[in-house]
A and B are shown apart, each in its own frame.
Chain A
Amino acid sequence: MQRRYRTVPDLKQNESALTLAFTDPTLAGKLTAMGVLPGVRIELVRPAPFGEAYYVKVDGVRLALREEEAASILLEA
């Protein structure tokens, strides 16, 4: 059975976790170039007011990610 990893949308507000890997190679290219690397700490600052996007913080840098972008980031348990 495949283990289900947590992803960024599973985080609670202000919770943070270490990133592990990405599920989508295209998004991985974009995210890594922006400094979201495997093994960095990512914090969910808050969801967007109307949903489907997240305000996150990685290494002191603030990013806005869409649902599918955020969900493509696998987190360590």
Chain B
Amino acid sequence: MKEARGKVPKIALIGNPNSGKSTVFNQLTGLRQKTGNFPGVTVEVKEGRLRFPSGAEALLIDLPGTYSLHPTSSDEKIVTTVLTNPKDDFYPDALVYVADVTHLEKHLLLFTQLLDLGLPMLMALNMADTAAEAGIKVNTGKLAERFGVPVVSISGRTGENIQKLLLDLEKLLNGDGHHRRSTSAFYPLREVEKQVADAAQLNVATGSPYHALLLAHHHAWLPFLQKQERETLAAIVQTKDFQSLRVQVDETLDRFDRFTPIVRQTVSQPSVEPTTFTDRIDTILTHRWFGPLIFFGVMLLVFMAIFFGYDITGGWVESGIGVMIDAIGVGLRENWFTDLLTKGVLPGLQGILVFVPQIALLFLLITILEEVGYMARAVFIFDKTMRRFGMNGRSIVALIGGGACAVPAIMGTRTISNWKERLITVMVTPFISCSARIPVYLVLIPVALPHSSWWTKSLVFGGMYFFGLLAALGAAYTFKKLLRTSDPSYLALELPVYRMPHWKNVWLTVWEKVKAFISGAGKIILYISVVLWILGNTGPSGALENAEAQVKATATAEMSQDSLDDLVAAKRLEASFAGMVGKSIEPLIAPLGYDWKIGIALLSSFAAREVFNGTMYTIYSLESVGRVEEEEAANQRPFERYSRLRRQMRDDTFRDGRPVYTLATGISLLVFYALAMQCMSTLAVVRRETGSWKWPLFQFFFMSGLAYLCAWVAFTVLSR
């Protein structure tokens, strides 16, 4: 079975959820890992490089956690798909089976199924540290003998025996492991299974009889089967009257009957099971009243941490890049390229980087909650609530993540097995107020409520988050009524024991999310910044030059160079293509109380919402002031920032002399920014996750339409 292709061997890590697979993966590969997608499907796979003590290398693939080769979610289907298709890109040369030794029996079902598939395999008994504490003793030699595979006792957490694992694994790859041949299957097929497997083996080329049986069970969805193979298998199943579901259950029970005695002979467990630490904590954390209360408390803390994190780090990043932009601006000659760099690319980059600290912080907190074992409890508590809205308890993790950035949050919905629940979660997550909305809210709230107290403003700010959540739930409820699916939906979730977080896991996960944001959202933000720069700096022939000449001709002697430059910038923007578009959509947005200047800002918000602020500064001839105020912001209380811009906005009037920014316009804008789909990066991710442009387009029109409608209602009601 050795590969003659001369490539590095492929090894797959496999195991049940919570077996510690990811921890072992991190131990083995460290930072030499990347996340990719299985071709054609949207389940992610982690790959990493592994180096044996001999210096040889191998590719390590982390397969999704699953309980059985008879899968129920799209995550789990991947495992069966890969392992039953020798032509698959990820088909491994050997398997490392990770089992939690403290519950060995629960982890042997999948293991014995894999045994019968006949791939070379090694069993890693993980959590040796916990086992030792609990007084669990395992006779690894005897286990190895009974199953016919090498067995190593390891700890992903302490790194114990990882080197030995590598040694044994290399031996296994070289064919020295005592790997049992598939002649004697662990589970002898029953009569009906045998008949089906034999027929399948005759008609569709397969390896072991169990392999053939799996193809027969799952022919309806296994993606690699040819049409003809599928039909043949369907016919076999039909003629043999093969009751797939029932047979699967019988197989599972039979396997348990066979390996339970083996566990009894090889594992000695202290018999009494005391009320553990986990049970005591859960009496509070899943308590009828305290449970939800604590959850909301934790969320409040998380979001406060993010807001204050933004407050502090956002300022640093802004001024850091501001300094860089200034330095480059000074160093380079003034031409269009410098301008593109300092006004298009670098601010775009700034727009990406300002969010990195918050996204890192939110995912740090979520990952810790997840590592500790708390998230599973939140899923349990809110499953019912989420289901009322057509989602799944697991959706709660995505909705929380949406508070930082919808892009990584949406990528995290892959654990939801039901297509409809997952789709709804993906569709409504962008309603949750993400970090890009914070700076916009900070400008708009004081513009809308100039004379209100700090408390009122803070309340409105918090209210915006609440409003986003309401919109998400309302939309979800609507989708629930509209969409149909026959996919089964499950909760059936293991509640892991509480553990201290393993920091290496935490850092690697956070790093992964930040990378997902930078590569998923970052690139698009950068492109759009460039496109917007072009729109804002080009116009019908001669228009920009005319505008500039006009300003200079009418300029008075008292004007400082800065204000002259600012005025030129404002007039150029007005004359540019962006300005033209802004003006041409004015009739469309007038019912919401907006003028063409806001039109331009709305347009430019498609890169990232907070571009709103920068555009407003330029339009109001405050470009140079803007840079100063952005830097000052770090030292000011939230609602006191951007004061010159706000004053300018408040003073602005329509052509007929009515003020533009009234309470009604301010609120209408806030509503619009809360609801509108103004994030190309999110749309791109939604396309990737749903596999077509249909859903992102729908999402765009749905969210923006709703934003328009609600902003119009707000404006109309408030301006009476």
Interface residues of A (CB under 8 A from B): 22, 25-35, 37-38, 45-46, 48-53, 55, 59-66, 69
| CB contact between B292 and one of A32, A49, A59, A62 (< 8 Å): that residue | A49
Can you give 17 contacting A-B residue pairs, CB < 8 Å?
A25-B245, A25-B246, A26-B488, A30-B492, A33-B70, A34-B106, A48-B384, A52-B387, A53-B380, A53-B384, A55-B495, A60-B103, A63-B495, A64-B383, A64-B393, A65-B492, A66-B492
Contact A50 B385 (CB under 8 A): yes
The verdict on A32 contacting B249 (CB below 8 Å), with A46-B286, A55-B282 known, is: yes
Inter-chain CA distance A28–B256, complex, in Å, is: 14
Shortest distance between the CB of B402 and any CB in chain A (Å): 22
- Residues of B within 8 Å of A32, CB to CB, are 249, 252-253, 256
Shortest distance between the CB of A30 and any CB in chain B (Å): 5
Contact B490 A69 (CB under 8 A): yes
| CB contact between B286 and one of A33, A38, A55 (< 8 Å): that residue | A55
Inter-chain CA distance A22–B67, complex, in Å, is: 18
Shortest distance between the CB of B15 and any CB in chain A (Å): 13
Shortest distance between the CB of A60 and any CB in chain B (Å): 6
In the complex, residue of chain A having the shortest beta-carbon distance to the beta carbon of B113: A33
In the complex, residue of chain B having the shortest beta-carbon distance to the beta carbon of A50: B384
Shortest distance between the CB of A59 and any CB in chain B (Å): 7
Inter-chain CA distance A14–B65, complex, in Å, is: 30
The verdict on A53 contacting B253 (CB below 8 Å), with A33-B68, A35-B105, A61-B103 known, is: no
Q: Does B287 contact A (CB under 8 A)?
A: yes
- Residues of A within 8 Å of B342, CB to CB, are none
Inter-chain CA distance A35–B256, complex, in Å, is: 9
| CB contact between B245 and one of A26, A33, A38, A55 (< 8 Å): that residue | A26
| CB contact between A49 and one of B67, B381, B393 (< 8 Å): that residue | B381
The verdict on A35 contacting B106 (CB below 8 Å), with A30-B490, A53-B384 known, is: yes
The verdict on A49 contacting B288 (CB below 8 Å), with A29-B252, A64-B379 known, is: yes
- Residues of A within 8 Å of B387, CB to CB, are 52
- Residues of A within 8 Å of B245, CB to CB, are 25-26, 28-29
Interface residues of B (CB under 8 A from A): 67-68, 70, 72, 103, 105-106, 109, 245-246, 248-249, 252-253, 256, 273, 278-279, 282-283, 286-289, 291-292, 376, 379-385, 387, 393, 488, 490-497
- Residues of A within 8 Å of B490, CB to CB, are 30, 66, 69
Contact A51 B384 (CB under 8 A): yes
The verdict on A66 contacting B70 (CB below 8 Å), with A49-B291, A52-B384, A61-B106 known, is: no
Contact B491 A49 (CB under 8 A): no
- Residues of A within 8 Å of B380, CB to CB, are 48, 53, 55, 64
Contact A69 B492 (CB under 8 A): yes
Contact B383 A48 (CB under 8 A): yes
Contact B109 A33 (CB under 8 A): yes
Contact B376 A64 (CB under 8 A): yes
The verdict on A64 contacting B105 (CB below 8 Å), with A29-B248, A33-B252, A51-B384 known, is: no
The verdict on A30 contacting B72 (CB below 8 Å), with A35-B105, A62-B278, A62-B494 known, is: yes
The verdict on A45 contacting B103 (CB below 8 Å), with A25-B245, A63-B495 known, is: no
- Residues of B within 8 Å of A59, CB to CB, are 103, 105-106
Shortest distance between the CB of A7 and any CB in chain B (Å): 15
Inter-chain CA distance A69–B417, complex, in Å, is: 15
Inter-chain CA distance A69–B492, complex, in Å, is: 7
Contact B67 A33 (CB under 8 A): yes
Q: List the 9 closest A-B pairs by CB distance, nearest first.
A: A64-B380, A25-B245, A33-B68, A33-B67, A62-B495, A52-B384, A66-B491, A35-B106, A32-B252
- Residues of B within 8 Å of A46, CB to CB, are 283, 286, 288
Max chain A Cβ within 10 angstroms of own Cβ: one of B249, B376, B490: B249
- Residues of B within 8 Å of A66, CB to CB, are 383, 490-492
Inter-chain CA distance A60–B286, complex, in Å, is: 18
Shortest distance between the CB of B249 and any CB in chain A (Å): 5
| CB contact between A53 and one of B109, B273, B383, B496 (< 8 Å): that residue | B383
Inter-chain CA distance A49–B283, complex, in Å, is: 11
Contact A37 B256 (CB under 8 A): yes
Shortest distance between the CB of A22 and any CB in chain B (Å): 8
Contact B286 A48 (CB under 8 A): yes
Shortest distance between the CB of A73 and any CB in chain B (Å): 11
Shortest distance between the CB of B208 and any CB in chain A (Å): 20
Contact A64 B491 (CB under 8 A): yes
- Residues of A within 8 Å of B393, CB to CB, are 53, 64
- Residues of B within 8 Å of A26, CB to CB, are 72, 245, 488
Known: A25-B246, A46-B283. 19 other contacts (CB 8 A): A22-B249, A26-B245, A30-B67, A30-B492, A32-B252, A33-B67, A33-B68, A34-B492, A34-B494, A45-B282, A49-B291, A49-B381, A50-B382, A50-B384, A51-B384, A53-B383, A53-B393, A63-B494, A66-B492
